Amino acid sequence: MPYITQDYRQEYDERLDDLCLVLDEHGYSAGHVTYVIYMIVARWFKSVPCYDTIASIRGVLLGTIAEFDRQKAAPYEDEKIEENGDVDLKYRTMEFDKGSIVEDCHCPIEIEPEEGDSDFDQCDCNKPAGIHSTSLHKPFKRGA
């Protein structure tokens, strides 16, 4: 958790400001940022080379990702959902299986396609798709 005391934050922030200026000059390129993060953890490991350090470094990196997702990525994504609408995969998913599209309608009707049935004509749920792959249905693929 990155919630250290204000005294420590001030000490680090002064130095981070300089580092961030250099990174900004390079457009925060993924390569440059990765280099900086790698060098921090590599120096940490060099100062205490043991498995506990490896485990701690991994935990810190994973925790950093989780905290970034919670604080920055999730609110950003929520804002974009508000702007553009959510992606509704409830009624349509695509998979590439030998070139065919698999679609899910999630209707509650038990349907087993019969030989000769065309594409989705046997679906009674009035959803935009007719291939059933929920636990109530057996898969039926277009072009199969």
The pLDDT of residue 34 is 98
Neighbours of 104 (CB within 10 A): 21
Position 104 confidence tier, pLDDT thresholds 50, 70, 90: low
Asked if residue 26 has pLDDT above 90, the reply is yes
| Long-range contact set of residues 136-144: C-beta below 8 Å, sequence gap at least 24 | 136/108, 136/110, 137/110, 137/111, 138/111, 138/112, 139/102, 140/111, 140/112, 140/113, 141/97, 141/100, 141/101, 141/102, 142/100, 142/101, 142/102, 142/103, 143/99, 143/100, 143/101, 144/100
Cα–Cα distance measured from residue 57 to residue 107, given in angstroms and rounded to the nearest whole number: 47
pLDDT tens digit sequence for 42-63: 999 999 999 999 999 999 999 9
Query: Helix, strand or coil for residue 100?
Result: strand
Residue 119: what pLDDT?
45
| 102 or 48, which is more confident | 48
Give pLDDT, residue 144: 45
Q: What is the pLDDT of residue 86?
A: 86
Position with higher pLDDT, 144 vs 2: 2
pTM: predicted TM-score of the whole model, two decimal places:
0.59
